[in-house]
Structure 1
Amino acid sequence: MYEPIRTKSVHTVAEESAATGYPRRSRDEELDIQLAGHLAALLAVTDELGLAAEGDRIAEQVARLRGTPPTRHAGLTNASPADLHTRAHHLAGRALLVAASRADTAAAILSAERMDAHLAARHLAGAH
């Protein structure tokens, strides 16, 4: 009447992964990696917009999370400033969500400030 369980239990899988020596990361470590990725993407767009001071602040947060300063280069996409501000606004929003779930106040404040700045710039440019 009942079908037997065909998958291994969570405890067995955890024991096997510990025995094989695969590195395991905590939830906080995973969130730090994700947050650093979003901030690094935001940094690339910020640098393309030519916002050096704001880029330096973002780079500080990426360095804090990764333990090493990010590589910065001028990889130009030739997108319009309005499109870049839209992209930066979305990236800052993603970073804000991860920073809030990680309870990283410094990154959350920076992300919220960048969201506001890019939203204002989008409105000035006429892109809604």
Structure 2
Amino acid sequence: MYEPIRTKSVHAHGPHRSRQEELDTRLAGHLTALLTVTDELRALTPAAELDAAGRRLVTEIERLTGHTPLRAEPTASAGTPAALHQRAHTLAGQALVVATQRGDTAGAALASERMHAHAAELEV
């Protein structure tokens, strides 16, 4: 009546990433999103400070992922500078949380710096 299963389950779990690898991926994702918003801000209001921030974000993402991040072309409908600064502030905060969980002082310092810069632009 009962026939045993002779093939491996399609639901078999493969190798899992470690917690550290998961946090690396999350942090790189938040920093990449922050880089995209920074590029949008640079397109609307060019500034040397945003150029430097973009370079530092790229360096940090390269350290985490081992490759240069893909960068989107800034769009005309990205939003107002205030909305972009708000989004960047939120993303930097998320990156700070993940960097702190990961124990990454360089990532946390960069995220904190970006949070403060965007908060100053928002006059928070």
Q: TM-score range by the shorter chain?
A: 0.7 to 0.9
* Relative contact order, higher structure (CA 8 A, sep 6+): 2
One-letter code aligned to 2:24: D
Give the superposition deviation at 1:75: 3.2
One-letter code aligned to 1:66: T
**Structure 2 equivalent of residue 5 of structure 1:** none
Correspondence list, 1:1-128, <5 A: 22-50=14-42, 51-76=50-75, 77-123=77-123
Indicate the SS of the match to 2:21.
helix
Give the superposition deviation at 1:21: 6.8
Give the superposition deviation at 1:71: 1.3
Indicate the SS of the match to 1:71.
coil
Please give the per-residue CA displacement for 1:39-58, whole angstroms capped at 9, x wherever unaligned: 00000000111122111101
Give the superposition deviation at 1:73: 2.8
Q: Is the alpha carbon distance of 1:23 and 1:75 closer, same or farther for their aligned partners in structure 2, counting shifts above 3 Å?
A: farther
| Paired positions, count | 107
When normalised by structure 1's length, the TM-score is: 0.78
Give the superposition deviation at 1:122: 0.8
Structure 1, unmatched stretches of 5+, are 1-15
CA distance in structure 2 between the aligned counterparts of 1:21 and 1:78, rounded to whole angstroms: 40
Indicate the SS of the match to 1:30.
helix
Please give the per-residue CA displacement for 1:74-123, whole angstroms capped at 9, x wherever unaligned: 23243000000000000000000000000000000000000000000011
Structure 2, unmatched stretches of 5+, are 1-7, 43-49
When normalised by structure 2's length, the TM-score is: 0.80
Q: Which moved more, 1:95-104 or 1:50-59?
A: 50-59
Alignment identity in percent?
A: 53
